[in-house]
Amino acid sequence: MHAITLDDMAAAGALLEGHFRLSSGLHSTRYLQCAVYLAEPARAEAAGRQLAARLRNEAAQLVVSPALGGVIIGHEVARALDVPFFFTERADGAMALRRGFHIEAGTRVLVVEDVVTTGGSTREVMDVVTRHGGVVVGVASMVNRSGEENPFSPLPYTALLTLEIPNHAPESCPLCASGIPVVKPGSRTAA
Ligand code: ZN
């Protein structure tokens, strides 16, 4: 089973070119729409198995992902590890564990994302897990576009695809300077 490449993502129609506002607020000329790649269950399952294999030694007892982006890949990692899967979601802007999900104190938790850009939302999930008594033992994502090998060091972190795509602050974005309208990926205009 080979690692996912940018060509694989492009072949799946998951690589968008344009002028995008990322959830981090940064702008970029490219966007990976992981949901499109994961739309094929066999691809999602294979991606989950690869991430799980890399972090099996952390002996996670639970996988937690942020909704919506992390849900499909997180569930597939949990399936591969044969452990339960919970998701966090925003309530009044703050990341929270709802739905009656309960983490037993000391549970070893793997946090799984689709894309890590700044790592901000991942850290919010890690904080939620810790507040509920869980112990984060590792982080995984389909895509790492943070520009760092491991933004969560000293915790182990792995990604199937590392992307060196430049991200721009809006005030120094060359596409903004050229007057090209920025779109939010996933919106009708980006699709
Ligand atoms: Zn821009």
pLDDT value at position 191?
34
CA distances from 157 to 49, 99, 142, 176 (A): 15, 27, 11, 33
Q: Cα(145) to centroid of ligand 1, in Å?
A: 17
Per residue of the chain (191 residues), give pLDDT as tens: 567 888 999 999 999 889 999 877 889 998 888 999 999 999 999 999 999 999 999 999 999 999 999 999 999 999 999 999 999 999 898 999 999 999 999 999 999 999 998 899 999 999 999 999 999 999 999 999 888 999 999 999 999 999 887 789 999 999 999 999 999 876 544 33
Q: Cα(171) to centroid of ligand 1, in Å?
A: 8
CATH 3.40.50.2020 assigned to 40-165:
yes
Q: Cα(10) to centroid of ligand 1, in Å?
A: 22
Q: Cα(19) to centroid of ligand 1, in Å?
A: 6
Q: Cα(172) to centroid of ligand 1, in Å?
A: 8
For residue 177, what are the contacts with CB-CB under 8 A and spacing of at least 6? none
Q: Cα(55) to centroid of ligand 1, in Å?
A: 36
Name residue 35's amino acid: A
Name residue 153's amino acid: S
Q: Strand, helix or coil at 41?
A: helix
Q: How many CB atoms lie within 10 A of CB 98?
A: 12
Q: Cα(181) to centroid of ligand 1, in Å?
A: 8
pLDDT value at position 189?
45
pTM score of the predicted model: 0.88
Q: Cα(176) to centroid of ligand 1, in Å?
A: 4
Residue keyed to tokens 């998701």: 87
